[in-house]
């Protein structure tokens, strides 16, 4: 912004009473401009928030539908059982630990839990 007092900015100059009044007028104009910009920013922020919410909804929609196409859904129960058995530790008996097979496998989804719990070779 241009200022009629540019040469006095960043100095120790003391404005006269008349200049002080003119400075107040300049500040009112810049304050109005600032309020207009803040209003526009708020309006744009609300629009951005709405768009981000719509975007998140579409991403969630896409992820849910992509999950339906997951190749893992096409595996038969006997294949899943063999995969689960292959996940077991080979050097020791499995611990009851939620961070490793077979307990970890029961936490993925209800169908995996059902398969894991109904496969005696895992336990």
Condensed to tens digits (0 to 9), the pLDDT of residues 39-89 reads 999 999 999 999 999 999 999 999 999 999 999 999 999 999 999 999 998
**20 near 27, Cβ under 8 Å?**
no
Q: What's the confidence (pLDDT) of residue 94?
A: 74
Q: What's the confidence (pLDDT) of residue 91?
A: 84
Mean of per-residue pLDDT scores for the chain: 94
* pLDDT score of 34 more than 80: yes
Q: Is the pTM above the cut of 0.85? A: no
pLDDT tens digits along 16-29 = 999 999 999 999 99
Residue 34 CA: distances (Å) to CA of 27, 39, 114, 122: 10, 9, 62, 68
């Amino acid at each position: 912004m241009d200022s009629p007092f540019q040469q006095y900015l960043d100095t120790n100059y003391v404005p006269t009473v008349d200049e002080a009044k003119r400075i107040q007028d300049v500040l009112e104009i810049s304050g109005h401009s600032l309020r207009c910009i803040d209003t526009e920013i708020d309006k744009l922020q609300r629009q951005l928030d709405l768009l981000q919410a719509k975007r998140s909804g579409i991403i969630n929609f896409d992820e849910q539908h992509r999950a339906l196409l997951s190749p893992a859904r096409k595996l038969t129960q006997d294949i899943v059982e063999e995969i689960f058995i292959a996940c077991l530790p080979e050097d020791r008996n499995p611990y009851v630990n939620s961070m490793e097979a077979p307990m970890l496998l029961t936490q993925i989804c209800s169908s995996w839990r059902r398969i894991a719990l109904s496969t005696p070779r895992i336990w």
